[in-house]
Amino acid sequence: MNGATNAVGRTSSEAVSGNPLIAAQRGLLGVFLVSIGFLIAQTFGFLKLPVGQGIFDTIVIVLAVASTLVSLAGQLPAQNVALAAVIVGILGGAVHVLGAFTGIPFGPINYFPECGLRLLGTAPWFMPLLWIIAILNARGVARLILRPWRKLRVYGYWLIGITTLLVLVFVLGFEPFATHARHYWFWSATKLPVDWYGTPLSDFLGWVVATLLILAFSTPALMKKKPSRSYPEYHPLIAWTAIQLLFIGGAVSQHLTVAAIVIAIASIAVLPLAIRGANW
């Protein structure tokens, strides 16, 4: 058994070393992680960046999207990856444009100039990219968690459910970061009795509904059409964890102690589940 495992490991290592796509993925991931490190240091005031904060935020977002798509292209045909990214980006952006016009499904939101250019003069330009980052990496982490059960008939439903839950965790960290650390927007008061550092519960419900809708349309493009040997892909877990660290840093820098603790607990809870699944 150990001999077979070692043979598989050698075959996998040889394939990786000769694959330029893997090299590109690792290079992009490395640059992305370095940029996240700079951004966290800047958030705490430990580092003064040579460019404006908005420009560096843009660089980090673009690197996150690029590394995510290149990583996914190592598992799926490039046309499938491109189609999935277009579906996720367009639907995610459209939902936020609708929300900016009507307040549905997220709630009454008001954008500051700090968020930069607007889609149709409404939602921030980066929302489609944020959806790509959130959904594709959350789905990748969910695949790691569910790896021991990937042959079950109900696997697809569990994958959608856990992906949606991880996107919700992503938003739980992103909202305090966007509203307090970056001042991208603020929420008007609603009749709901509870909020999350000013963010109404309707925002989280809106993200859940939108995620389920987007997954319904994008999942066919993300499915492997031909059966093949499945190797664990750690990129989504690394990227997802790095982004959570940024959100934790933003919360700590703004003295949002409860937010930092909640985000940290949620992030730490995911790690052993994903690592256990990957090593199955």
Cβ-contact 97, 119 below 8 angstroms: yes
Vertex 128 angle, CA 193 and 25, to 5°: 120
Please name which of 106, 108, 131, 111 lies closest in space to residue 122, comparing C-alpha atoms.
Answer: 111
Which amino acid, residue 208? V
Task: Convert 119-158 to b/e letters by CB count within 10 Å (16 or more is b).
Answer: beebbbebbbbbbbbbbbbbbbbbbbbbbeeeeeeeeeee
pLDDT digits (tens, 9 = 90+) for 149-186: 988 999 999 999 999 999 999 999 999 999 999 999 99
| pTM score of the predicted model | 0.90
Pairwise pLDDT comparison (256 vs 3), residue with the higher score: 256
Other C-beta atoms closer than 10 Å to the C-beta of 182 total: 19
What are the phi and psi torsion angles at 200 (to 5°)? Answer: -70, 155
Average pLDDT in the chain: 89
Other C-beta atoms closer than 10 Å to the C-beta of 196 total: 18
Pairwise pLDDT comparison (189 vs 158), residue with the higher score: 158
